[in-house]
Amino acid sequence: MTGRITSRWSGPYDKLRVTQLAVVRRPRTKARRRTMSVTIKEINADQLALYDGIPSWFEVKSMFRVEVIAAGLGGFRLVEEEVVEPFIRDYNSHHEDNPTRWVSHFDVSRWGIFLATDDEGQHVGGATVAIDAPVYPMDRFQRQDLAVLWDLRVHPEHRKQGIGSQLFRYAVDWAWSKGYGQLGMETDSSNVAACRFYARQRCELGAIHRFGYIGVPEVAHYAMLLWYLDL
């Protein structure tokens, strides 16, 4: 669910319908969701291939546009706009950033890497908490006791069954047990579902960086959104 800059742009960005996040939400049909009980275990870096086997993609049906109020002095408003043609963003499409490659870029020996399995032993989700690591943009001007939810994923066939929430709570408890006082997350304006998920987990949007990806042409039009949760 994290929205790192590794995603690709594969569709148009045109406006169809607009809702203001701070004022109105689109009507949604409430359906009873079945919660799947999973077993969550911490794994080592040599097991990242199992973690990497869980797909990490989502369909973009709407995006947030940042509305600037009074040149920014009046704040910002996130406005949800539907796209004409839904498209897929696939984090696994950038192989250099896949979990099995993390060890090439970071010292993950102290990270919390968690794998969720169902009753049949199938790997259905994963979460990773990075600590004391130069993970942009959470490595700049942050609290010393900040841990970063570096990755959160649920297999597409098992989504909307409470697995993400269970993984999130497990990651929170782990970070707290290690003495960290805040958890930070990065996503972007195309990942509306992740933003709503973090809000449900009682996280707060701490920063909107309109030009956070300006140096990456394929995602330069996205806004960087940084979320925080005090532990």
Task: Give me the pLDDT at residue 207, please.
Answer: 95
Assess if residue 20 is contained within a domain: no
Task: Give me the pLDDT at residue 187, please.
Answer: 96
Contacts of 28-31 spanning 24+ positions with Cβ under 8 A? none
Assess if residue 15 is contained within a domain: no
Assess if residue 171 is contained within a domain: yes
Structural domain total, the chain:
1
Task: Give me the pLDDT at residue 138, please.
Answer: 83
CATH number at residue 226: 3.40.630.30
Assess if residue 11 is contained within a domain: no
Task: Give me the pLDDT at residue 32, please.
Answer: 58
DSSP string over 6-48: T----S----S-EEETTT--------PPPPPP-EEEE--GGGH
Query: Which domain range does residue 138 map to?
Result: 37-57+91-230
Please give the structure tokens belonging to residue 60.
């973009």
**Residue 207 CA to its chain's centroid (Å):** 15
Task: Give me the pLDDT at residue 139, please.
Answer: 81
Task: Give me the pLDDT at residue 6, please.
Answer: 36
Task: Give me the pLDDT at residue 11, please.
Answer: 40
Mean pLDDT by 10 residues, the chain (231 residues): 40 37 45 81 96 96 97 96 95 84 94 97 97 85 92 96 97 98 97 97 97 94 97 97
